Amino acid sequence: MVQRRRPAILSLLLLPSLVIVCAARQEAGSPALAPPPHAPLVELIRRLGSEDFREREDATAQLGLLPFNAPPPKLLEATRSTNPEIRRRAIEAAAAIRMRAERRAIGRERVFAKDGAVDLFVASTTRWNLPPQDERIWQTVLDVATALDDRTKFRWRIAGKRRVIKPSDFWLVSLDMLFVRSEETYQLPDKNLDGTAIHSKPGGILALEVVAPHALDRNLVIARGPVRVRTRAVESVILANGDVTTGYGLEVAVIVCDGNVEVAAGVNKSVVIARGDITVGELVSDSTLIAAGKVTLKKPQPPADHDQPVVEERVRVPLNFVKFFELPHVGVDVKVTDKAVVVAKVADNKAFAAAGVEIGDVITAVNGKKPDDAESLRRLLRDALALGDAAVVVRRGDRTETLKVSLPE
């Protein structure tokens, strides 16, 4: 029997949890506050101590959204106020300003990587056309790798556990990366010039789809679709928005995939996290397998006196540090009626409600592509929102509207 247990530190998050300041919900029937859109800083700070709770909430939210690269001196002064309410709210707003400034500075891709939104990170690379050693390629993957190392029983070789890591410290970096544009499928070479079979050379592959006729050996793979490996993956990292299959096994490898993972042989010293199902044909040793769907181990596992694998079926709850994009994140649920994708639910204070989508609307396109069901809508939104706002076309009665949906911070 497989011992099923939770990794000791699954509940930790990658970053210290800074509060993202949001406007408070309006009480039913209450008149909406209407402060000027850019109220003077001093006035907003004064409102932090208002007797009106809604006014205090609104001022805190506005301060947190100010486009500063650091909290202004007046706000820092308020963090030392003798009024405990002003002091608490000023500290909260200053933290929100710092967080927003950091996110602007590190770029969209690293925000996704640091937050564990690996599927959004993969989708965001569709616009990449970077030089082979551009640190954005490596740093985002290092963010993911370090977080997985911290949050599972898997221990791997990253710069002697240092937390300040250069691309040259990563064990995958040894040769020039192989780059393939996103619209292409990349197939690794099958044979040497003399006709003998070859394995992949160490390096990186960025592609729409990846096919390895033999093994992946010390490769970084970022694929916006499926990855198929004929033999095994060794000392490799695979981040994919499609299914991942290997003909043999995994050895000291990491797979994070928005799909299913199927490994024909065994898994050793590896981490596999999948939004779908995980199927393994042979033994699993010293590894972590986490799936939102079903984990199937076809062969009996090691006896109890050996290291047991960590196996979890999470059913769409956050998978360790990885959080796959889901429709509830933007506050919508849909159903298919007469081959049309119809909005069945719109959650208050979420992106679809803010965009003006209503129950009964028919979603006909997302960034020009037609969804067929809830899953295809999820994937279209994932890919669109990874790059920016999504243009969602809805049919409402005899009218058609294009609405802008934004990814919540």
* Same domain, yes or no: 284 and 360: no
Pick the residue with more confidence: 70 or 243? 243
* Same domain, yes or no: 313 and 340: no
Q: Which tens digits make up the pLDDT trace of 37-49?
A: 445 889 999 999 9
Asked if 222 and 122 touch (Cβ cutoff 8 Å), the reply is yes
How far is Cα 326 from Cα 236, in angstroms, rounded to an integer?
27
* Same domain, yes or no: 82 and 156: no
* Same domain, yes or no: 352 and 275: no
Q: What is the dihedral of CA 144, 147, 151, 154, to 10 degrees?
A: 70
Among the candidates 72, 105, 138, a domain finishes at 105
Residue 1 lies in a domain: no
* Same domain, yes or no: 127 and 242: yes
CATH of the domain at 96: 1.25.10
Among the candidates 324, 339, 365, a domain finishes at 324
186 closest CA partner among 169, 203, 164 = 203
* Same domain, yes or no: 208 and 276: yes
pLDDT of residue 364: 96
Per cent of the chain over pLDDT 90 is 40
CATH of the domain at 370: 2.30.42.10
**What mean pLDDT is predicted for residues 374-400?**
94
pLDDT of residue 256: 92
Looking at the predicted structure, is the pLDDT value of residue 209 above 90?
A: no
Residue 10 lies in a domain: no
* Same domain, yes or no: 117 and 258: yes
Looking at the predicted structure, is the pLDDT value of residue 31 above 50?
A: no
83 closest CA partner among 61, 56, 62, 63 = 56
Lowest mean pLDDT among 24-28, 123-127, 187-191: 24-28
pLDDT of residue 314: 77
What is the separation of C-alpha 65 from the centre of its chain, rounded to a whole number of angstroms? 23
DSSP-derived secondary structure for 165-227: --GGGBTT-SSPPEE--TTSEEE---B-TTS-B-PPPSEEEEESEEEESS-EESEEEEESS-E
Q: Which tens digits make up the pLDDT trace of 277-303?
A: 999 999 998 888 889 999 999 987 767
pLDDT of residue 52: 92
Residue 26 lies in a domain: no
* Same domain, yes or no: 73 and 126: no
pLDDT of residue 288: 84
Residue 23 lies in a domain: no
350 Cβ partners below 8 Å, 6+ apart? 329, 330, 331, 332, 408
* Same domain, yes or no: 378 and 273: no
* Same domain, yes or no: 318 and 335: no
Work out how many domains the chain is built from and give that number: 3
Q: Is 405 helix (H, G, I), strand (E, B) or coil?
A: strand
Residue 13 lies in a domain: no
Residue 379 lies in a domain: yes
* Same domain, yes or no: 114 and 154: yes
**What mean pLDDT is predicted for residues 305-327?**
77
Residue 225 lies in a domain: yes
Among the candidates 82, 105, 128, a domain finishes at 105
Asked if 332 and 348 touch (Cβ cutoff 8 Å), the reply is no
Structure tokens at 132: 């082979």
End-to-end, the C-alpha distance of the chain in Å comes to: 42
Looking at the predicted structure, is the pLDDT value of residue 115 above 90?
A: no
The pTM (predicted TM-score) of the whole model is 0.70
- Supply the DSSP symbol for 369: B
* Same domain, yes or no: 283 and 148: yes
Looking at the chain, how many residues does it have? Answer: 409
Domain extent at residue 79: 41-105
Residue 31 lies in a domain: no
